[in-house]
A and B are shown apart, each in its own frame.
Chain A
Amino acid sequence: MTAREEQFEPNRLSIATSPHIREAGDVKRIMWTVNATLVPIAALSLFLFGWYAGVVIAVSVISCLVFEAVWQRLSGKSITISDGSAVITGLLLAFVLPPNVPLYVVIVAAAVGILIAKQLFGGLGYNIWNPALVGRAFVQIAYPAAVTPSTWPIVSGDTWHRIFMDVRNAAPPNALAGSSYDAVTLATPLANDALAGFAPDAAGNVHLMYPSLNDLFLGAIPGCIGETSALLIILGGLYLICKGYINWKVPVVYLGTVFLFAFFFPSWKVPGAAAFGGLPEYVIGLDVPGRFFFPLYQVFSGGIVLGAVYMATDMVTTPITSRGQVIFALGCGVITASIRLLGHGFPEGCCYSILLMNTATPLIDRYTRPTKYGAVKK
């Protein structure tokens, strides 16, 4: 072998196009990292809502895996359930269902999400909409009564404070004191006729009752399994941002848009309750000036923190460029806030806003295509 031939021996010279700097991250690694950040939220939901929440999560994840495997087997593709994407769908689907949801609803939602929204469009990487949200939207219309959250967490806000927060409001009003707090069944803080629940006091008078902003932030509120704790979701999101798996601009712009919208157009959907000014005093948990209370309340209630961190940042169904992602997040924020504050039909707009913007993703991609290197703008 001459020296010249040796020089071009394939093993010694690696020829490749850019990128030249490689990292261990691949689909599998990213998916399982996201799953890992979802585990604390699942654990908290068990603590807050009890063992049945765990059953819902397990059923959701297992049925997503089974549907994916069965479909891939039947259609003659290689089975890729170990890449973790079906597990993410299963976890997120369970997280956006209420803790008292019947199990058949979970299975139907998983089937619709995995089979119709994901596999029929070509599997991972080809789906137009977020599979978990499609599943949730389907069962929300199919079984409206079963998908309305109506259980308070086992650990009531009061206890929660005592355990972790060293109660800020040392003297809660009578309506909240003692056992009556635990006994009430309430809708989610956003549900239509009640941004608050109704609690009878010792004398039998019924009071409006709101979860405090602290509870809202920490998660001891009624709601879907994984959406209640803004704190854990934000921590998980921060980790993913540090790893570079999600764009920090998306959650910031999404939540910021909702905040600003609520700041300028505050309106409680509660009959009789004036805007932020007319709130009962005990609602205000953090020492935030009243003007900022309502927007913060909007940002931390419902599912938008979960949606902004884990669903509006999905790699498949959102725009590719950073600029496109910002437009996406902005659209999500405007639609969510509009449905919540201006609409009359739905209490929560997070799910539909993300699905609608998923639909617009190809369009956004087209208009945010970066200019070629060296090209001159006309």
Chain B
Amino acid sequence: MWIWREFIRGAFKENPTFVLLLGLCPTLAVTVSVENGFWMGVAATGVLISSNVIISSLRKFIPAQIRIPCFVIIIAGFVTITEMLMKAYLPDQINRSLGIFIPLIVVNCIIFGRAEAYAYSHSVGRSFFDGIATGAGFMLALLLISAVREVTGSGTILGLEILPGYKPAYIMVMAPGAFLVIGLLLGLFNALRLRHARRAAVVFERPITSQTAQGQ
């Protein structure tokens, strides 16, 4: 059961993009199409899971004073592997549009954050699932943002035209569109969370005020 709870926490309650606001640079840059967003998510999740597992299993041997350089070396190793794999097996066009943002996963603060805040102090198994959960949260955010941007900015989804006659707003696949979409989605999620919290508070209050009073 803890696995499910960890998953909900990592992917939704502490969603790296929409709650912790981590890793926004690649999120802003690569989410012009769902395909790009998906492969960015895959690369980051792969690195995250592997680095979480290795850092967690080495946590007894990594001295606290030099843990950051150690994390960098481990993460950089997996980023290099990921980059080579992507170069070898993915179409050229995807590699070109993801470009520098794959090597930059080395300094992605989601991966650093999980290494520092979780993997360095938890068991290998828990760190593995934490990697999956956080990666899934990042992936969901990327897919959501890139879907909104691709539909509004290019009128397509996964490269297929979905709304004939729709005039794509070019701005949405440019940098301002990324900021707009992330800002609006953040506002939406915050509004939903506030409303949820308010409803929960009302339900909690009811038995104390009316029902308990009537019962007595």
Contact = CB atoms under 8 A, between A and B. Distances in A.
Please classify the interface of chain B as helix (H, G, I), strand (E, B), loop, or mixed, using the class held by over half of its residues.
helix
Nearest to B176: A141
B58 interface: no
A141 B170 contact: yes
Contacts of B170: 141-144
Contacts of B167: 102, 104, 143
Contacts, number: 21
A203 B28 CA distance: 56
Interface in A97-134: 102, 104, 108, 116, 120
Interface residues of A, number: 11
A116 B174 CA distance: 18
B169 A116 contact: no
A343 to B, nearest CB: 18
A171 to B, nearest CB: 46
B187 A138 contact: no
Interface residues of B, number: 10
Contacts of B176: 141
A141 B174 CA distance: 9
Please classify the interface of chain A as helix (H, G, I), strand (E, B), loop, or mixed, using the class held by over half of its residues.
helix
B107 interface: no
Interface string B167-194: 1011110101000100010010000000
Contacts of A104: 167
A328 B125 CA distance: 59
B88 to A, nearest CB: 37
A144 B171 CA distance: 9
Nearest to B187: A120
A116 B188 CA distance: 13
19 contacts: A102-B167, A104-B167, A116-B180, A116-B184, A120-B187, A138-B169, A138-B171, A139-B169, A141-B170, A141-B171, A141-B174, A141-B176, A142-B169, A142-B170, A142-B171, A142-B172, A143-B167, A143-B169, A144-B170
